[in-house]
Amino acid sequence: MTHTILKHSALILAASLFASCAPSVEMPKGTSKGYHSARLIKSDPNSPAITNATEKQVHGIIQKSIAKQFTAKGLSYGNANADLVVAYLVIYQEPGMTATYPNYFGYGRDAGEISDLAHTRGALENKRPDYFRQAGVIIDVIDSHTNKQIYRNFAKGDVIKGASAGTRAARIDAAVAQALSPFFH
């Protein structure tokens, strides 16, 4: 009996230690209330240009969709002195592999922790028996006056290989809308 209790206690301790080492990511859930304008985060002008046509297209669609979401909710978008700064991180996964595209996520932020958590949950702990490709977008909103992150959310879905430009745009637009919807309520 004592051996069973000790074994059980050791398992609980090991589980709690493992859980404390697991990656965690803050998910603030502020809203747009009280803000009037937003803009995209400024990227490094000296970073290499994106040369992959699909990657370039995806970033363009995401940025257009973010602007559309903010203007549809009555906030002006694109002014250099905006109240809010919007950053986003793109994640792509296949079984056992996670890639991040942080071009518009900013600096000194937690892209590494997000990537680690996404890899653990989406690639390592994924129970899908079939080969898969999935992508996600994490959208952060930052108060430009305090530099405090006030909102983070994400959306993900399967990648449709060979999708038309229109289908890709519609799917990305829906993902951006899903990720930002709670921010506007």
Select from 177, 159, 140, 163 the least CA-distant residue to 64.
177
Residues 171 and 160: beta-carbon distance below 8 Å: yes
Kind and range of the H or E run holding 172: helix 165-180
Segment 127-152, tens digit of pLDDT: 889 999 999 999 999 999 999 999 99
What are the tokens at 135?
């992508």
pLDDT at residue 4, as a whole number: 38
pLDDT in tens, the chain (185 residues): 444 343 343 333 333 333 334 457 899 999 999 999 999 999 888 888 899 998 999 999 999 999 999 999 999 999 999 999 999 999 999 998 999 999 999 987 888 899 999 988 888 888 889 999 999 999 999 999 999 999 999 999 999 988 899 999 999 999 999 999 999 98
Q: What is the pLDDT of residues 162-179, one digit of tens each?
A: 889 999 999 999 999 999
Task: Quote helix, strand, coil % in the chain, to nearest 5.
Answer: 40, 25, 35
Note the pLDDT of residue 142.
98
2-184 CATH pick, 2.60.120, 3.30.160, 3.30.1360, 3.40.630: 3.30.160
Q: What is the pLDDT of residue 23?
A: 54
Main-chain phi, psi angles of 2, to 5 degrees? -60, -40
Q: Which residues of 59-90 are buried (b: 16+ CB within 10 A; e: fewer)?
A: bebbeebbbebbeebebebeeeebbbbbbbbb
User: 104 phi and psi, to 5 degrees?
Assistant: -120, 35
Domain ranges of the chain: 2-184
d(CA 76, CA 69): 10
List residues bridging with 98 in a β-sheet.
93
